[in-house]
Structures are given as C-alpha cells and as structure tokens.
C-alpha cells in the first residue's frame, strides 16, 4: 500500500499529511464559504451508524435515496453499507465483519457503490475474504447488495488475481463490471479486472511498473467504449525513483495503452489518485495529489489520444488558501462546471476546501473547512437529480463524530439521468429523477417514447424508433427536465 503524497510508504494507517490535519484541529478558525453557496451538514457518523466514509462518492438509487459506504464502524465494526435520504435520514443496510474475527464477506468498503441495471448495488472490500492471503488481513472481495440489504460475496481476491481494490466498480455497456486492484496480480503492482454480475472474474491486465503501478481510482468508460484510468505511481518517466504515475486506456479485451507518464514538479502533476471524468466535450479531466510548480497537486485535462494540459496548480495563493492535495475525483455538474475537493489547505489552514473549476482552468474556492465544522473531504461530490451536490468528510470537529454527510447547494435545478446512457432502438431504459409523478411525456432528442411512471423517482421506457443521440426530456406538471448527459443511440 502507498500513501497519497509523494509515494511515501505506510501500512494500514494514514499518511503524515492526514495526521497533520487531525492535529491541526487544535488551532483552527471558523469555516468560511462563498456567499453564493449553501453548505449544510446533514448527518454525523458516530461509529454505531458507521465511521470514516473514505474514498466514497454517493450513488442515487431508484427510490431517490443516496447510497454509500463507510470504511469502519457499524454493528460489527467492519464498515457499513447505508442509504440516506436527501434530507439526512440514514438507514444502515449491512455491517461487515471486523478483521480481528475472520469472516468470509470481507471488511473495509472504502470505495462507493455502483447501481447495476438489475437493481442491485455492487461494491468492493479492501480487506478480508480469504484470511490466509495478504498477511492474514485478506486481499479483499467484490460483493453485491440488494436495496433491502442482502449481501452476496461474488469474488474473493487471492493476490494472484489482485489485492486491495480501492476504487469503485463501473458497469460497462455490455453489462459486465470493471475495476482495479491497488496491489497483487502477476507482478504485485495491481490489476485491471472484469467481473460478471454472477461473479466470474477475469484479470485483464497486471501492471509491471513500467506501464504504471498501484491504480487507486475507478475506471470510466468513454463514449468510444474504451475504459480510462490512472495509476498512482510507476510509468516510464523517471521523475522520481517510484515514478509519478500514469493515465491509461484499456479495452474490454485487456489491451492497455499508456496515454501519459506524469513528469511531476515543476512542469506538471504527479500521483493521480482518483478516477477521471469525461466531460460533455469528450475530454477527460482529473487531479493529482502532488506535483505542479508548487508540488501541492493539480487539475488537468487529457484527450483520448493522450494530450495533457495542466489547468490549475494548487497552493498558488498565499498560505494555500486555495487548498492542496486534491485527493477526490471531479464531477461535472449540469451547468458544465466541475466541482471537487482538496484534502488540505483553505482559508483555515489544514482542513480542506470545496472548489469549482471551469474547463479553462478558472478556480473558485466555494467553502473552507475549519473549527467549528468538519474537515478532510475526500470521497468526491455527487450531484443528485434534485440538483444539489452531496459529499462526505472523513472526520468532524466534535468529539465522537466519525465523519459527516453534507449537501452543497450551488443554485442548480433538477434534472433526470438514465440507466444506461446508451442503447439501441427498443432497448430498455430507466430514468431516475425527482417528483416524476404525473409525467406527461418522454422524448429522446425530440422523438416521443412510450413510458411507465413507476414511482416519483423512476420511469421506465424504451428507445423509440427514429430516436437519435441527444438529451432525454421528461415533462411533468412541475418541470420540464432534461437528462444530465446526452443519451447515445447505438446501432
């Protein structure tokens, strides 16, 4: 395992810069925000209902609730899967076993969930499963869970096929899930794998350090059907002894191409620790936790052909009031702007920030954490169909608080999203939204479709004959709602 700063090794703990954030609580000032934003703490974790929501971004269920995981806590202290309403009412769906007691289902779900087209959620566990592998801690597992809380272990890693999955899964257009492991594989530097909903796992690629090492973030499937991801270290650029990380593409058959080797400070970023996001313009955007002119991390864009542009270098303002170490992925909201988090820095020194950034690199600090208040955002933001952004913090400033859930209102209205985001004529499509009851029409880029309103948060439909790629529009008595991304009609 590697820490997320300059490749410093650590074992089963936090790197130094995270510890410094905790210590710095003793001298923090009040949290600050941009006047146009509305930041609300919705819920405090107290251990019994979970602890430490880590590299986890929310996912919205068909019922309109948000679903996520905590690394620890719960009834048996091995982490939890939970659902939470948009106003902050939490229900624990499942508690995983602690590592001190061997259990077959694994522990530490550090990554978030993905909603499958079958209605189940799918996720990974960083530890556990096979207690005889990976130094008695287990190498991790892949699981599914129903919205009611029934967990099924789909695969247990044994190091030869990967170990320590840290990023969330992604469901490809073919219905198969894809993911990465931070370690293990043929060379010990991590893997890319696929797994069917029934649990058949295939190792697609084992990193060998020259093509990258320790992939920590999730994959994203581009509109061209190819998957894209990052590795935290490795690569052919000897910017440091351990390498500065890579951006890669990989086909569903396992053909990997290194698109970029990071050079590190002072020319560009180093150590990308999170997933990329493909924007509406087709370009991918991401972050590095170090590197750049100030060696405090960057925001970058990269084309599918590998042309990289550094958009912003953190700690460009006095005393790092703009933040440092962006260790969570970006999200592009419906206004086209990207939103993200820094683990440290801000107006109150060590506690982190929420920021927005345009595709041209103009950054605005929206919120600076401090005391009283929570600190250390790391999981990434998620825009729910009500238009609001939601996220988590790893810790709080009040004794007994083991993380929080918050909302961030930035003035964006409701929209709809689809599962999947592409399909042939006649393919089934689920539309998720808010206040969909009484919907009067559904159109695919102007072509009317037949539909059924299942609930206030779900509509089912099929791609109509004559449909072309474009926005899906849902008319309701209250709003006319557009999809957050274009629906691609495939042949």
Reduce the DSSP state of residue 18 to 3 states and report it: helix
Peptide bond into 420 cis (omega under 30): yes
In this structure, the answer to whether residues 329 and 217 fall within a common structural domain is yes
pLDDT at 241: 82
In a shared domain, residues 349 and 423: no
pTM, two decimals, is 0.91
> What gap in Å lies between CA 13 and CA 1, rounded to an integer?
10
- Residue 200, CA distances (Å) to 122, 177, 192 in order: 14, 10, 14
Sign of CA dihedral 70, 73, 77, 83: negative
* Radius of gyration of the CA atoms of the chain, in A: 21
Specify whether 287 is located in the same domain as 308: yes
Q: Read off the pLDDT of residues 299-323 as tens digits, 9 standing for 90 and up.
A: 999 999 999 999 999 999 989 999 9
Residues 320 and 363 in one domain: yes
Q: Determine the number of helices (DSSP H) and then strands (DSSP E) in the chain.
A: 1, 42
Identify whether residues 385 and 468 lie together within a single domain.
no
- Select from 348, 383, 409 the last residue of a domain: 409
Last residue of some domain: 363, 378, 409?
Answer: 409
pLDDT at 15 over 80: no
Q: Distances from the Cα of 265 to the Cαs of 192, 240, 341, in angstroms?
A: 28, 10, 21
Tens of pLDDT along 119-164?
999 999 998 776 667 877 789 999 999 999 999 999 999 999 999 9
* Distance of alpha carbon 304 from the chain centroid: 20
Give me the pLDDT at residue 128, please.
Answer: 79
Contact between residue 376 and residue 394 where contact means Cβ atoms under 8 Å apart: yes
* d(C-alpha 62, C-alpha 287), whole Å: 30
Residues 396 and 437 in one domain: no
Give the whole-angstrom CA distance, residue 285 versus residue 302: 6
- Residue indicated by tokens 């206040």: 435
Q: Does residue 24 lie within any of the structural domains?
A: no
Output the CA torsion sign for 278, 279, 283, 286: negative
């Amino acid at each position: 395992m590697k820490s997320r700063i300059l490749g410093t090794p650590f074992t089963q703990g936090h790197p130094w810069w995270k510890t410094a954030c905790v210590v710095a609580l003793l001298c923090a000032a009040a949290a600050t925000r941009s006047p146009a934003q509305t930041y609300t703490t919705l819920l405090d974790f107290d251990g019994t209902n979970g602890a430490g929501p880590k590299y986890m971004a929310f996912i919205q269920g068909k019922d309109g609730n948000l679903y996520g995981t905590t690394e620890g806590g719960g009834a048996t202290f091995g982490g939890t899967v939970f659902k939470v309403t948009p106003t902050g009412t939490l229900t624990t769906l499942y508690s995983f076993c602690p590592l001190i007691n061997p259990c077959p289902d694994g522990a530490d779900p550090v990554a978030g969930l993905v909603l499958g087209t079958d209605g189940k959620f799918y996720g990974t566990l960083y530890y556990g499963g096979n207690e005889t592998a990976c130094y008695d801690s287990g190498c991790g597992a892949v699981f599914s869970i129903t919205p009611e809380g029934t967990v099924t272990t789909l695969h247990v890693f044994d190091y030869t096929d990967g170990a320590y999955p840290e990023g969330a899964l992604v469901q490809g257009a073919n219905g198969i899930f894809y993911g990465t492991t931070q370690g293990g594989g043929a060379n010990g530097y991590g893997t890319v794998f696929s797994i069917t909903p029934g649990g058949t796992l295939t190792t697609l690629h084992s990193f060998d350090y020259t093509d990258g090492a320790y992939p920590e973030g999730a994959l994203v499937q581009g509109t061209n059907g190819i998957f894209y991801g990052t590795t935290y270290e490795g690569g052919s650029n000897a910017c440091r002894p351990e390498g500065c990380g890579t951006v890669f593409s990989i086909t569903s058959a396992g053909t990997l191409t290194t698109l970029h080797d990071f050079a590190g400070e002072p020319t560009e970023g180093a150590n990308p620790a999170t997933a990329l996001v493909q924007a509406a313009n087709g370009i991918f955007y991401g972050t590095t936790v170090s590197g750049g002119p100030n060696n405090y991390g960057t925001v970058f864009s990269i084309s599918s052909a590998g042309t990289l542009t550094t958009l912003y270098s953190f700690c460009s303002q006095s005393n790092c009031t703009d933040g440092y170490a962006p260790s969570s992925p970006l999200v592009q909201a419906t206004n086209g702007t990207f939103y993200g988090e820094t683990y440290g820095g801000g107006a109150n020194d060590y506690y982190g920030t929420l920021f927005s950034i345009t595709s041209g690199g103009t950054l605005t600090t929206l919120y600076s954490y401090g005391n009283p208040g929570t600190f250390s955002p790391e999981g990434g933001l998620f825009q729910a169909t009500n238009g609001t952004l939601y996220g988590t913090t790893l810790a709080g400033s009040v004794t007994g608080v083991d993380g929080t859930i918050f909302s961030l209102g930035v003035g964006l209205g409701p929209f709809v999203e689809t599962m999947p985001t592409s399909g042939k004529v006649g393919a089934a499509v689920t539309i998720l939204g808010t206040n969909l009851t009484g919907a009067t029409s559904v159109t695919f880029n102007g072509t009317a479709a037949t539909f059924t309103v299942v609930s206030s948060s779900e509509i089912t439909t099929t791609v109509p004959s004559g449909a072309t790629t474009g926005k899906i529009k849902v008319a309701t008595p209250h709003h006319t709602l557009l999809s957050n991304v274009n629906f691609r009609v495939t042949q």
